[in-house]
Every structure is written in structure tokens, then in C-alpha cells.
Amino acid sequence: MNVVDVEVTCWEGQPPPGAVSGIIEIGFTVVDLTAGRRVGRHRILVRPERSEVSGFCTELTGLTPGEVAGGVGFAEACRILADAHDARGRPWASWGDYDRKQFERQCRAGGTPYPFGRPAEQGHINAKAVFTEAYYGLRKRPGMAGALQLAGLPLEGRHHRGEDDAWNIAALVLDLVERGLWPA
């Protein structure tokens, strides 16, 4: 299974006129659910096409305008996901539905083929919803960092960095697998 986390262009407050949030980093961790371990850690930097990386975004993610300018275009990032990382053949999970919806929006806006195999609602697992239900039906869905605390797991790397967040979400998925609470 692929666990995916994206970082997007963002601003403190409203975006500048004409700017649209776009993916600038796709972090993903390959998880072997049977072996119960994380087997691959990857990131794809994506060059923004409809906005710029703001100072606020750099402060939050650590990603600079110069760094993402060296990334690939969104369509190429989707091709890499699909071809080099078997995104069409594996189920995928993210923390919440934001990442899935961002892929859908951006693919639709640019005419880019959706990189994941099944229709979005069927091939995607909302790990946040599974965690919330598994942890005694929590009323409020915790953020990833809060979920790690609830599960007694460390936050590894930098929060709001796609590669690190995907790694941490994968740890939460494996915790749920180990407890027998991950959907089959």
C-alpha cells in the first residue's frame, strides 16, 4: 500500500489574486501490510504552475521557491507515481480526504490522468477516519501529530513535510494493523 501526503502552496490568509493552491511535494511511504513494516520512503518535488511558494509556506514546510522550481511538472509527477511506484495497482491512504481531493482538483484542472488506479472514493482509505473510529470513536478527528501522541508513537522528521508526514502516517497505519483495526 502507498501512504501519501502532499504539501501545497499556501498563504497566511487569502491567496493572492489569481493564485490557486497547487501540490509542491508528494511524499509517500510504501507499506508492506503483511510484514507490518515500512519498506520505501519517497518524495517527488513538484514545480507549482498556478501560484508561488510564499514565505509563510516556506516557514511551514521548509520548502523554498528555488527548491520546488527544480521539481517536475504535476503531470510528470503523476506519471512517476503511476509508473514507477505502482500507484494504479496499490491501494493508497492519506490522513483525511484533503490529499485525495487535491489530486482530483488538480488532475481535473490540468487534464492530467488521475494517478491512482481505482475511482478515488474506492481506492483511497482515509486513515484519519479509521484511526478516529479505532480509538474509541473519538468525537473530534485529531491531526497527525495528535494521533501519534494518542498512539504513543514519536513524530519523526519535520511536521508539514510530505515525505516525513507520509512516514509518520504509515507508522499510524501499522499501529492500526497490529491492533487488528485496519480495514482488510
Residue 15: exposure state from Cβ atoms within 10 A (0-12, 13-18, ≥19): middle
Question: Is there a contact between 169 and 127 (Cβ–Cβ < 8 Å)?
Answer: yes
- DSSP conformation class of 156: P
Please report the pLDDT score of residue 118 as a whole number: 64
Domains in the chain (CATH in brackets) are: 2-178 (3.30.420.10)
> What digits encode the pLDDT tens for the residues 103-160?
999 999 999 999 997 655 568 999 999 999 888 776 788 999 999 999 999 999 999 9
Please report the pLDDT score of residue 121 as a whole number: 57
> What digits encode the pLDDT tens for the residues 65-95?
999 999 999 999 999 999 999 999 899 999 9
Mean pLDDT of 50-55: 96
State the pTM of this model: 0.95
- Whose CA is closest to 41, among 144, 123, 156? 156
Q: How far apart are CA 23 and CA 77, in angstroms?
A: 10
Q: How far apart are CA 130 and CA 49, in angstroms?
A: 33
Please report the pLDDT score of residue 120 as a whole number: 53
Q: How far is CA 181 from CA 2, 40, 128, 143, 178, in A?
A: 18, 23, 13, 19, 8
Cell representation of residue 3: 501512504
Cell representation of residue 154: 514519536
